Structure 1
Amino acid sequence: MALSFAFWCLVAGLAFCALWPAMWADPAGTVRGVLDTALGYAATPYETSKFFLGKAVDDPGPLFYPVVLAFRTTPLVWLGLLAAILHEFTNLRIYEPRRFEITALLACACLFAAFMSLGAKKFDRYMLPAVVALDVVAAVGLVGLGEFVSQRFGGRSKFRVPSSKRHRLRTLDSGLGIFIVLLLLQAGHVLSYHPHYLACYNPLLGGPRLASRVLPMGWGEGMDLAADHLNRKGDAEELVVATGGIPGFAPLFKGQVKGSTERDVATSDYTLLYISDVQQNPAAVGAFGGQRLEHVVRIHGVDYVWIFANTQHEELASYLQGRVGPDDAVLLDASSPLVRYYQGPCHILDSARSEAEVAARLREVAAGHRRLWYVAYPEGDPQGWLNWQLSAHALLVKRRGFPQVSLSCYLLPAQPAFGVTPLRAGPNVEFGGRLRLTGWGFAEDVVEYRQKLGVALRWQALQKVGENYALSLRLVDGGGHPWAQVDEWLLNASGLPTSAWEEGEASEGRYLLDIPAGIPPGRYQVRAIVYRTDTLERLAVLDEGGSPAGTEYALGTVSVASPTVPPTLEELAIPLPLSRDFGGRAELLGYSLSALEARPGDTVELTLFWRALRPMERDYDLLLELRDGAGRTWMEARLPLPNESYPTSRWRPGEVLRTPYDLLIEPAIPAGRYRLFVNLLDGDRPVEESSAIAELSVQGRERLFAVPEISFPLRADIAHRAALLGYDLDRTSVEPGGVLQLTLYWQALARMETSYTVFTHLLDAEGRVRGQKDSMPCGGACPTTGWLEGEVIVDRYEIAVDPDAPAGEYQIEVGMYDPQTLRRLPAFDEAGKRLADDRILLGRTIIVGSGRKQP
């Protein structure tokens, strides 16, 4: 038998080589490729194999194939297997047993199922070899069962089975009758599934109804019925259908068939949802917004195919039909059945190869039109060129979302400036010595509300960058208030972050800044900030000498014009609406406050929303007051309305504006509750009684004016605004990786309008920073804007020493800087001489890594 098996294997191998020409040229490579492909597929689960026992799973596990065999075999096979096992392994046998053959076939089926269970990719069809082996065993068992029944209950007939000793016939009268009945039952059950035999499952286990809740189902059965349903429609040849089962549906359907991507679904007349999709995501049946369930294909009581009619094309066409005028154009970014439903011309822009081509097509579409209706489909503008051009060069006046598309209406200028934004050479400014800005450009120099400011930038990596950085672009007014901001990762043309950039690699990026509703006309600055994505730490902008010059770089200025289409109150989105009339000139529509509680020295951001009621010939100022419960005024500020470049004399009736202000809480204001009053000033005269709009709670803090005992007294001066009286140290020796506690004693010499940051650096013998802590005084609890003249501030810091700091003598330097510009404040010694590098070197030496006990 072993020799026969070896001969069979040899013949099979020769046939394999003879029938596959690839084996003639490279037999070793071909076999290796087959094995690699098979193992690769086995290790990668496919979507429809991720369902088992009623839920989606990554790997069905070892129980999958035993359950498959139970459902994919029949009651007749079960009966035959039971009979074979009893016949071969018990005393219930009437002829010489075939234990070796039966055992080999059962072992083959079991081992094959076990081997296939090792792969992550599992399908019921992979068990066909095991089913064949089980069928053979079942056939032997059924023959044995017939012999047993015939011997017990029947006579003789011509049907015999061979014996090892002699050939003789045993009667099968009763056995033959049983076989006929069983075969008729089996045939009737199977034929009831014609022509969808793959939908047949073991009825003893509940058939397909239970199988649909246990095993992944669906190999295309039912798609023929879905095709018949759609082919009966009069316009079947024009229909577009989206489905994930293209091979089983496309050859049977008269119309066009697409895949099941989001874009395909949105641009199709019908969508087919198959049973395998629903098994993995039961909510998918109800997830097709804008589509109506038209028909369900059922096979033996199991839903196999859901046919959804896409009704949004008719809804969208009806919406456009009642709004598109003779001066309007309709633009689609994908071919869609909408063109059959909309009774008007449609332009399709879905195959542009460059931004220049998109701009040229837009100029053609816009010619002679005042408005453009843009129908945006999912993935219809993959490069973002179309969105960039329309956002930067047209005014978005209306946008409506449909279930699967977005409809936008743009107001076109008389001469649209659609085109590629040119990049100006320079400014070659460096950020942290890692990135260089080598080019920039604005899509337009004059923008307005409903338009976006397009900014194009070109970057170059100065070295291999190990971190990921992001860009923040900000639109800032003359007072430093940010009006718009966009943050995006810096990516190259391949979409890779800066950590993957090579030295010298260049990359271009395009960004859009929203122009907010209510922004006053005037000149605004565009600033660029680069920061790490993980720590949000900014890169310093380096000047020509390579020294830090702040963290924000001014790209240039743009003009904001009065809006062609003013914003509505809904678009203003006023956080706290109200209505206060000031002499019939202007109405205060509402406000917003960044905080309702503050401390002395804090800055509270206030935004007021105004509407001009009539033309104003005079320039009015804004009066803000903070009063206590007794009516006493503790703070008063006279401010331009809204700014110096757009005074009230230029306001147009009905115009709405928002005006931001920074309220600095005076250092001397006592703790308590205060009311914020607003008024307009005509010269020095209020136009009306001041109106209270909000309450603000001021929290006090303990203040110290007597100089406490200081371990290491000294005298130094910071910009003649603060004096350093001395410091304390918890130790004078520390190990690398340790923490040094430093306490500074400041005394306020004058009021400060800016909140400064204190720096404390631990320097080695070569002046390198080996530990630092930069912070607002008292960890932000006592900003310099809240200091009172003569007040003493006890300011504590914990300086972490670098773990790799070499042993030696160290010094500590301290000082202050403006966090916006990174410029240090001038530092002077006790004699009034300015100190080098604007830093104060503390006299006490710190020993790092000595191992000695501190004194």
Structure 2
Amino acid sequence: VVHARHLMMIAGPFMVLLGRAGSLIFTTPIAMPGRSVAWNIASRLAGLVVLVAFGAGFAVGIDRVLLRPHQDYVRADTRSLAQNVASLTGPDDVVLLPYVDYAFDHYFPGPARVYHVETRVPDEPLLDWLLPYIQGAKRAVLIRWVDAYSDPRDMLPWLLQSNGRLERRFWQAGRWVSVYDLENPIVIPALEPADVRIGPLALRGVGLPHRAVADQPLPIALRWEALEAPGLPYKVSIQVEDPSGHVVAMDDRVILSERDPVDAGRWLPGLVARNYYLPTLPPGSPPIRYTLAVSVYHGDTTLDLLDPHGAPAGKRYRLGDITIEPGREIPSAYAPETTMTPMEHEMAQGLVLEGYHVDRETVQNGGALAVTLYWRAESASLPPYIPEVRLTLDGEIVAGHKGAPAYGEYPCDRWRVGERVIDRRVMRVSPDAAGGVAEIELIVDDERVPLQNVVVEKTDRDFALPAEIDYPMEVSLGGVAILRGVDIGRDTASPNEPLRLTLYWEAISDEPPDIDYVVFTHLLDGERQMVAQHDGAPADGRWPTSTWIKGQIIADTHELGFLEREYAGAATLEVGLYDPTMFQRLTTPSGQDHIVLPPSVTVMP
């Protein structure tokens, strides 16, 4: 932005130009010996044009700067920002700026101490230098200028959030201002050692918050190492999941190095860097137990977690569980982006349903249907209400969920007046349900309210094995299924085309599993190194394990893509099931976490 004072350096030439224009207009006669009348008239007109252009420009400037100021033409009011920050701080407080701001320094009257923090250096020496300066401070104000590329990994917000509470955050004078109330002594949180390989990267350290509050960001630190040159600017996704595995918050960021931050696409092997994440739960999230997970991706491709043998072991790594405490502030509304059908209906005395959301309009019999209820407490000391959601088809209840809100972990009698609570419930539709239009209804005590209709699709299930299977088998996995056989069609494979096989599973659990397990299919060389693989939901997602009913036969086809194209020789096929959240494999009665298939495959050069 160009301020008016910046034009002072060209004021002299402007005065000369205006003087000459005035001279042409007022001192040039129409008739002058030796010069044509046309030339003199043109000189006067040129001077007039200059004066008119200057006057018009001056008028526009006065209008845009003084009469109708616009942010594109007015310099940010740093003076007001400095005065505002001074009103928020005292002599025991600090103001941190990860850039040089001469204007703020000039206008800031104190008495808080101001420190300019150079973040383009390694984290450990920077934190060791900064800690003595902020030790003992009761409040820290962090100012970040959008035009300055500083602290892109959010190291300073992570440090302050780990040692205090974000009281407010606002935008002023082209800067984000975050105000933290600190808890002393201020410490640098330690990272727990980790050894998790994800593609070309390794997760070497994990730092989770020692205390988590519902209305505050969750400060998380991860230490990454490049085992080989990644070659791509990978992103990390931190997911916060509720007890049902539903993602309620996430924070996705490009992995950056510490010094002169560059993305992973330009990392060399051996480079190590901390990165920081601050996922925030949406307003109304109940104070219960959540799970933190991490994945690494680029575009639409998510990297595999690798076991010690280099075999894929899922797409996400579970960092740990955290229990959220109730927030100090009660949210005045749900987030504007909340997907909700408004209701505003009092279901019981003091218990208001603001709205609801159903995750799908069509569900298969045996499938899951999630209904999210958005509650508000209109009075304190509510009774421990037990809401119930039902799915009714032709007068028959085909699915239901009854219990205290928030998976039973946050009952109504713990709510504060005015509190809003998100209550997600997952119903399992009966595998025997007929097809048709079903009604979702909500019941609290004697109050019954219809919500909306969904279509239940009756699916055709197989309960008999094919008459012929290439390799019949009978190996059970974790009480969930028995592998009855495999079709492979050929005993040779080429790296130039996928290796196709079909597994035949029989569901043996009395009730459908709560977990949608993933099938892994691996082709290994003699040293158990991965040659080809495919991981995916059974039957390409048509039959997730949570829909299996006892006795059902699932034909599950996989096409293994080759990872090692130079290998030739004998290879072994192994398959199994694993929990994609916990990354735990189901085991056979002998304790093995995989099943070796009988056909031996020869990979041709």
Listed one character per residue, the Cα deviations across residues 654-691 of structure 1 (whole Å, up to 9, x for unaligned) are 211112233333333232221222234xxxxxx12332
Partner of 1:511: 277
Q: Tell me which amino acid in the other structure corresponds to 2:253.
A: E
Listed one character per residue, the Cα deviations across residues 112-133 of structure 1 (whole Å, up to 9, x for unaligned) are xxxxxxxxxxxxxxxxxxxxxx
Partner of 1:255: none
TM-score of the two chains, using structure 1 as the length reference: 0.54
- Separation in 1, partners of 2:556, 2:392: 32
Partner of 1:142: none
Partner of 2:474: 716
Listed one character per residue, the Cα deviations across residues 802-843 of structure 1 (whole Å, up to 9, x for unaligned) are 683555455533332222233332236xxxxx3855214133
SS at match of 1:770: strand
- Separation in 2, partners of 1:635, 1:325: 54
Contact residue 335 and residue 350 of structure 1 kept, 8 A: no
Contact residue 576 and residue 593 of structure 2 kept, 8 A: no
Listed one character per residue, the Cα deviations across residues 473-504 of structure 1 (whole Å, up to 9, x for unaligned) are 23344454433211112110222222433333
Map residues 803-814 of structure 1 onto 2, 5 A cutoff. Answer: 804=565, 806-814=567-575
CA spacing shift, 1:596–1:701, aligned 2, 3 Å: same
Contact residue 742 and residue 797 of structure 1 kept, 8 A: yes
SS at match of 1:566: coil
- Separation in 2, partners of 1:821, 1:385: 29
Which sits farther off after the overlay, 777-786 or 644-653?
Answer: 644-653
Contact residue 447 and residue 558 of structure 1 kept, 8 A: no
Partner of 1:772: 533
Is 1:821 the counterpart of 2:582 in the alignment?
yes
Map residues 311-330 of structure 1 onto 2, 5 A cutoff. Answer: 313=77
CA spacing shift, 1:438–1:807, aligned 2, 3 Å: closer
CA spacing shift, 1:613–1:456, aligned 2, 3 Å: same
Partner of 2:3: none
Contact residue 525 and residue 531 of structure 2 kept, 8 A: yes
Partner of 1:660: 424
SS at match of 2:539: helix
Contact residue 548 and residue 822 of structure 1 kept, 8 A: no
CA spacing shift, 1:800–1:386, aligned 2, 3 Å: closer
Partner of 2:30: none
Instruction: For structure 1, list consecutive stretches of 5 or more residues without a partner in the other structure.
Output: 1-178, 200-221, 234-268, 272-285, 292-307, 681-686, 829-833, 851-855
Contact residue 518 and residue 537 of structure 2 kept, 8 A: yes
Partner of 1:758: 519
CA spacing shift, 1:385–1:228, aligned 2, 3 Å: farther
Listed one character per residue, the Cα deviations across residues 342-381 of structure 1 (whole Å, up to 9, x for unaligned) are 9x989795844467688888889966x9xx8x88653368
Which sits farther off after the overlay, 184-193 or 660-669?
Answer: 184-193
Partner of 1:36: none
- Separation in 2, partners of 1:632, 1:229: 74
- Separation in 2, partners of 1:671, 1:381: 57
CA spacing shift, 1:436–1:579, aligned 2, 3 Å: same
- Separation in 1, partners of 2:222, 2:392: 49
Is 1:839 the counterpart of 2:605 in the alignment?
no
Task: Give how far 1:600 is off.
Answer: 3.5
CA spacing shift, 1:654–1:804, aligned 2, 3 Å: closer
Q: Tell me which amino acid in the other structure corresponds to 1:497.
A: D
CA spacing shift, 1:309–1:525, aligned 2, 3 Å: closer
- Separation in 2, partners of 1:564, 1:446: 12
TM-score of the two chains, using structure 2 as the length reference: 0.74
Contact residue 389 and residue 402 of structure 2 kept, 8 A: yes
Task: Give how far 1:534 is off.
Answer: 4.0
Task: Give how far 1:715 is off.
Answer: 2.6
- Alignment partner of 1:290 out of 62, 71, 74: 71
Listed one character per residue, the Cα deviations across residues 13-45 of structure 1 (whole Å, up to 9, x for unaligned) are xxxxxxxxxxxxxxxxxxxxxxxxxxxxxxxxx
Partner of 1:701: 459
Is 1:612 the counterpart of 2:377 in the alignment?
yes
Map residues 233-632 of structure 1 onto 2, 5 A cutoff. Answer: 289-290=70-71, 308=73, 313=77, 334=101, 351-353=116-118, 377-379=145-147, 382-383=150-151, 393-396=164-167, 399=170, 405=174, 413=181, 416-417=182-183, 422-432=188-198, 434-442=200-208, 445-449=211-215, 451-493=216-258, 494-527=260-293, 529-540=294-305, 552-556=316-320, 558-571=322-335, 573=338, 575-616=340-381, 618-628=383-393, 630-632=394-396
Listed one character per residue, the Cα deviations across residues 776-816 of structure 1 (whole Å, up to 9, x for unaligned) are 12210111221222222222333445683555455533332
Listed one character per residue, the Cα deviations across residues 93-137 of structure 1 (whole Å, up to 9, x for unaligned) are xxxxxxxxxxxxxxxxxxxxxxxxxxxxxxxxxxxxxxxxxxxxx
SS at match of 1:708: coil
Q: Tell me which amino acid in the other structure corresponds to 1:674.
A: A
SS at match of 1:634: strand
CA spacing shift, 1:375–1:625, aligned 2, 3 Å: same
- Aligned-residue CA RMSD (Å): 4.8
Listed one character per residue, the Cα deviations across residues 300-353 of structure 1 (whole Å, up to 9, x for unaligned) are xxxxxxxx455x749979x979xx89999998965659998x9x9897958444
CA spacing shift, 1:362–1:564, aligned 2, 3 Å: farther
- Alignment partner of 1:638 out of 402, 406, 410: 402
Q: Tell me which amino acid in the other structure corresponds to 1:756.
A: Y
- Separation in 1, partners of 2:286, 2:454: 27
Task: Give how far 1:549 is off.
Answer: 6.8
SS at match of 2:447: coil
- Separation in 2, partners of 1:187, 1:514: 73
SS at match of 1:565: coil
Task: Give how far 1:224 is off.
Answer: 12
Specify the structure having the higher radius of gyration (Cα): 1
Which sits farther off after the overlay, 436-445 or 788-797?
Answer: 436-445
Q: Tell me which amino acid in the other structure corresponds to 2:305.
A: A
CA spacing shift, 1:773–1:345, aligned 2, 3 Å: closer
- Separation in 2, partners of 1:424, 1:757: 34
CA spacing shift, 1:316–1:227, aligned 2, 3 Å: same
CA spacing shift, 1:193–1:419, aligned 2, 3 Å: farther
Partner of 2:15: none
- Separation in 2, partners of 1:706, 1:835: 28
Partner of 1:688: 446
Map residues 182-193 of structure 1 onto 2, 5 A cutoff. Answer: 189=42, 193=46
Q: Tell me which amino acid in the other structure corresponds to 1:651.
A: W
CA spacing shift, 1:432–1:377, aligned 2, 3 Å: closer
- Separation in 2, partners of 1:559, 1:776: 30
Q: How many residues align?
A: 550
Contact residue 256 and residue 264 of structure 2 kept, 8 A: yes
Partner of 2:502: 743
Contact residue 476 and residue 483 of structure 1 kept, 8 A: yes
Contact residue 600 and residue 698 of structure 1 kept, 8 A: yes
Which sits farther off after the overlay, 511-520 or 634-643?
Answer: 634-643
Identity of aligned residues (%): 22
Contact residue 746 and residue 794 of structure 1 kept, 8 A: yes
Listed one character per residue, the Cα deviations across residues 585-642 of structure 1 (whole Å, up to 9, x for unaligned) are 42221122222222244433332111123344653333221111x3211112233322
Listed one character per residue, the Cα deviations across residues 718-756 of structure 1 (whole Å, up to 9, x for unaligned) are 324323333334444454413443233332222431222
Contact residue 470 and residue 489 of structure 2 kept, 8 A: no
- Separation in 1, partners of 2:473, 2:189: 53
Which sits farther off after the overlay, 730-739 or 331-340?
Answer: 331-340
Contact residue 136 and residue 186 of structure 2 kept, 8 A: no
- The structure richer in helix per residue is 1
SS at match of 2:413: helix
CA spacing shift, 1:773–1:574, aligned 2, 3 Å: closer
- The structure richer in strand per residue is 2
Q: Tell me which amino acid in the other structure corresponds to 1:490.
A: I
- Separation in 2, partners of 1:517, 1:825: 37
Contact residue 475 and residue 524 of structure 1 kept, 8 A: yes
